[in-house]
Each structure stands twice: as C-alpha cells, then as structure tokens.
Amino acid sequence: MTTTTPSTTMKYSRPPLKVLWLIQLWLLLLFESGLVISEVPPHYWETPYSQPYFDNSSRREVTATVGQAALLHCRVRNLGDRAVSWIRKRDLHILTVGILTYTNDQRFQSLHSEGSDEWTLRISSPQPRDSGTYECQVSTEPKISQGFRLNVVVSRAKILGNAELFIKSGSDINLTCLAMQSPVPPSFIYWYKGKRVMNYSQRGGINVITERSTRTSKLLIAKATSADSGNYTCSPSSSDSASVVVHVINGEHPAAMQHGNSSASSLRWRPVPLLAITTTTTTAAFAVTWNWNWSSGGLFVTWLPAALANSWRRHWSTSWS
C-alpha cells in the first residue's frame, strides 16, 4: 500500500512595486541630505549656541585704592577647550594665559576655580601707574575680547577745619574725619593722640562715633583741659591718615578761639609787649594789627573792630615802658 504525503508549500508574495519604489526614493533622499553618512558636516559644531561668549553681568569699571588688591572679574560661557588670557591694553603685554603668569611683575595673577566660568585678574598692591584698560581675551578664531577699566586712586582721610585748632579750657573738642575717596567703606577708623588710641581711652568724657556707610568718624572730648592738647590723627583702614594739632588754652580772645567747626589757627593773639612797634591797617569794619616784638623777634597778628583799632593806634602807635 502506497501512502502519499501531501507537500506543504510556503508562498511569499513580493511587495508591490509602488512600495519598493517609495523605499528607494526615501533612501536616496537620506543619502543626498548626508544624514546617513557618519561624517559630521564641518560647520555643525560652529553653531552660535556652542561658541564662547561673555557674560556681561561683570563690572566693567573698577576703582581700587593704592596698596589694596584690585580684582577684575571676567566670565566666559561655553569656553570649551579655548584659553582665556589677560592683556594690558596700553602696551599689549600678555599678563596671563589660563592660570599661568607671563610677566616678570609677580603682582599680576590669574585666579580660576575648576568648573567655574569666571577668570579673575588679581593685581596686588596696585599703584596709580596701573590705571588703564585690561582685556580678557578668548582664543577663538577670530579672537574675542572684553575690556575692563581699572582706576587706582590715592585715598586720604580729611579732618574738617584747619590743621591747627585752638580750644578754650573747659570747652568740648569736636573733630570730624572723612574718608570719602575710599572706593569701599573702611572696616574701621581709629583716632590717635600721639601714639595712643583714643577709641578705647580710659579717660572719661571721650566718645567716638563712626558711620561706615557715610565714611565719617567723630571724636568728641568733653571739658577739655591743657592735658588734651596735642596731635590728633584720624586713621581709616583703607586711607592715608590725617592729623590736626589741638591747643587747649586758658582765657578767651576772639582771635584765638574756635567756635563750632570754625578754626582760627592762622590768627594768633598776644598781648602787646613792653617794647614793641604796632602797625595797623584799617578797613571799613575791621583792622589788622601787626605786632613786632623786638625782644622775642616774633610777628603777631590781631583782628580788631576798626573803631577800637583807631583808638588804640592813637595811644599805642609806639609803646615804651
């Protein structure tokens, strides 16, 4: 008996010609556009979003005090593998590249923290000659740069009034010091009498009032005595000091005393000596009397009302005793 096994036939139908044609067209378009090629177009990484650029939030003009470190902050976004350099504009001298210093002047230093966008030029002990423009430059092609202006000033304290002050014994001494040229408020302002700090004086009646925001300091001494005479110095932390000489005298004369903040340091009164010649120049309201003392060789100046000066001149043009 013969057994016949039916054969199983698998039939695969071809895709329609229209589908094949569309696939071939799609591949052709991909090749033409270059999207299936492993090579990336040269201009791909040169898009604006990947180029370095400066963050303009940094201060472009900086004022520093002589002797106080100056810092110029440059922020660069998307730096990649480019280098940041600092260049002095006036002579095009390269100061730093990256964190390396390229000048013999070791006062210049580049500061940078890993992962930070900030590159800082630090100038230790700046001098007025360091004032000028400094460029933060990035090594792109072409190079890009951003300028920073540095102003180095000499900050000096100032005590209001003249350099010499006359105070009546028993009156108050009131000295006011300003540190207005300082680019930042001073961290402290010390007052000295000679070499002794007055801010912590044990003498009663002394008060020091300092306002950092206005860069001012006041020294108040109540009921001054002759022991309070001397040289007083105002010394802010970020400024050169200033001094004034205070004389506390007994008695009173309009030409010798200071009232409030006015000073008569250039006007000194002395009694007419026993042997003296007095010359008076009279104006409408006042007369200036010049007293030459032969015994001491001193020249003294006195301000008097004109009427009183004329009266004295009649009796004391030449004094002999």
The CATH number assigned to the domain holding 180 equals: 2.60.40.10
Closest CA to 143 of 227, 55, 52: 52
16 pLDDT above the threshold of 80: no
Sheet hosting strand 286-293, strand order edge to edge = 298-305, 286-293, 276-282, 318-319
Q: Supply the pTM of this predicted model.
A: 0.54
Task: Give tens-digit pLDDT for 131-173.
Answer: 999 999 999 999 999 999 999 998 889 999 989 999 999 999 9
Q: Which residue has the higher pLDDT, 33 or 281?
A: 33
Please give the helix or strand (H or E) that residue 270 lies within, else none.
Answer: none
**Which residues, 6+ apart, have CB-to-CB distance to 208 below 8 Å?**
191, 198, 199, 217, 218, 219, 220
Distances (CA, A) of 95 to 92, 142, 201, 236: 9, 20, 48, 32
Residue 277 placed within a domain:
no
Q: Indicate if 148 and 160 belong to the same structural domain.
A: no
Whether residues 167 and 135 share a domain: the answer is no
**pLDDT at residue 204 greater than cutoff 50:** yes
Distance CA 182, CA 10 (A): 96
Judge whether residue 198 has pLDDT over 60.
Answer: yes
The most confident of the ranges 31-35, 184-188, 223-227 is 223-227
**Does the pLDDT value for residue 287 go beyond 60?**
no
What is the distance between the alpha carbons of residues 287 and 281, in angstroms, rounded to a whole number?
Answer: 5
Determine, yes or no, domain membership for 186. Answer: yes
145: tokens are 């740069």
**For 78-215, where are the E strands, in sequence order?**
84-88, 93-97, 100-101, 108-111, 118-123, 132-138, 144-153, 158-159, 164-168, 173-178, 189-193, 196-197, 206-211
Q: Which of 97, 120, 153 is the last residue of a domain?
A: 153
197 in any annotated domain: yes
Check whether 191 has a pLDDT greater than 90: yes
Would you call 267 helix, strand, or coil by DSSP? coil
Does the residue 174 lie in any domain?
Answer: yes
Q: What is the model's pLDDT at position 60?
A: 94
CA distance 207 to 193: 14
**Are both 195 and 227 inside the same structural domain?**
yes
Name the residue with higher pLDDT: 108 or 276. Answer: 108
Let me know whether 138 and 217 are in one domain: no
Tell me what the pLDDT averaged over the chain comes to: 76
DSSP state of 156: B
- Do 140 and 160 lie in one domain? The reply is no
As a whole number, mean pLDDT of residues 107-119 equals: 95
Provide mean pLDDT across the span 71-80: 95
In a domain, 310, yes or no: no
Checking if the pLDDT of 317 tops 80, the result is no
Of 245, 101, 118, 102, which Cα lies nearest the Cα of 110?
Answer: 101
Higher pLDDT, 62 or 263: 62
Burial of 6 (0-12, 13-18, 19+ CB in 10 A): exposed
pLDDT of 320: 35
| Listed residues 135, 153, 171: the one ending a domain | 153
The domain in which residue 236 lies consists of 156-249
The segment with the largest mean pLDDT, out of 19-33, 186-200, 253-267, is 186-200
| Of 130-144, 147-161, 207-221, 273-287, minimum mean pLDDT range | 273-287
Q: How many domains does the chain have?
A: 2
Do 141 and 165 have their domain in common?
A: no
Report the pLDDT averaged over residues 166-181: 91
More confident residue, 118 or 285: 118
pLDDT above 90 for 84: yes
115 and 59 housed in the same domain: yes
Are residues 210 and 176 part of one domain?
yes
Tell me if 175 is assigned to some domain: yes
84 domain residue, yes or no: yes
Q: What is the pLDDT at residue 17? A: 66
Question: Are 186 and 97 found together in one domain?
Answer: no
Would residue 256 count as lying in a domain? Answer: no
Read off the pLDDT band of 282 (50, 70, 90). Answer: very low
3 pLDDT higher than 70: no
Q: How far apart are CA 144 and CA 152, in angstroms?
A: 26
Written as one string, the DSSP assignment of 206-261 is EEEEEETTTTEEEEEESS--GGG-EEEEEEETTSB-EEEEEEEESS--TTT---TT
User: Do residues 179 and 217 share a domain?
Assistant: yes
Sign of the Cα pseudo-torsion (89, 92, 95, 97, in order): positive
Using the 3D structure, point to which of 123, 153, 183 is the last residue of a domain. Answer: 153
Based on the domain organization, do 204 and 137 belong to the same domain?
A: no
Same domain, 128 and 184: no
